């Protein structure tokens, strides 16, 4: 049965420890993605990132990991995906290990996770950035100006790219482009950013 409408849900917050947590997800009928693998989602995401930035951000993969490069400069460097799975979930974790957009004292902190969670009748596809320490925030106790600057630039771009990617993935998997409702959810003990 084709879907008529889909919600893309997200929250993007600054946690009390000064790290950013960004989580986006969509729920689809399980028959729309029976042969989908988490590695495929990650590869599609990076290809979409390159495409929607007109090649300005280029995910470059090598033996050590994946560097998101802007005009050759490494914005964020990630380790190669570590895939884990159980009966209902598969995750690909890419740990942050450097880059120009990462606070110097936190280069080995944070991760980008792609997940597929299967339950009877549905599949949930998630993209989660957690424990990330952006250079734009300056420290684990950022000023109001730095929060605003991060929100207006890097946070907004990440959210826009990820939500558009999930909408495209929904269209690719279901064969239709349903209206997507974007729903912001909040987290306790965290500040929306």
Strands (E), 71-179: 73-79, 82-85, 89-98, 111-119, 122-132
Of how many residues is the chain composed? 193
Q: What would the pLDDT profile of 151-171 be if each residue is shown by its tens digit? A: 899 999 998 999 899 989 988
What is the model's pTM? 0.89
Over residues 59-88, the pLDDT tens digits come to 999 998 999 999 999 999 999 999 999 999
């Amino acid at each position: 049965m084709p879907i008529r409408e889909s919600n893309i849900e997200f929250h993007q917050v600054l946690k009390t420890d000064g790290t950013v947590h960004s989580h986006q997800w969509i729920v689809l009928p399980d028959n729309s993605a029976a042969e989908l693998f988490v590695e495929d989602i990650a590869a599609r995401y990076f290809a979409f990132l390159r495409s929607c930035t007109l090649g300005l951000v280029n995910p470059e993969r090598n033996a050590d990991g994946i560097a998101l490069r802007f005009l050759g400069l490494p914005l964020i460097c990630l380790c190669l995906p570590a895939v884990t799975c159980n009966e209902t979930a598969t995750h690909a974790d890419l740990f942050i290990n450097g880059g120009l957009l990462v606070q110097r004292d936190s280069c080995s902190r944070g991760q980008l996770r792609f997940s597929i969670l299967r339950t009877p009748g549905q599949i949930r596809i998630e993209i989660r950035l957690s424990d990330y320490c952006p250079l734009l925030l300056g420290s684990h106790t950022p000023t109001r100006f730095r929060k605003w600057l991060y929100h207006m630039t890097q946070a907004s771009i990440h959210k826009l790219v990820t939500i558009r990617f999930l909408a495209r993935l929904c269209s690719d998997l279901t064969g239709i482009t349903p209206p997507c409702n974007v729903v912001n959810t909040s987290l306790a003990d965290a500040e929306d950013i």
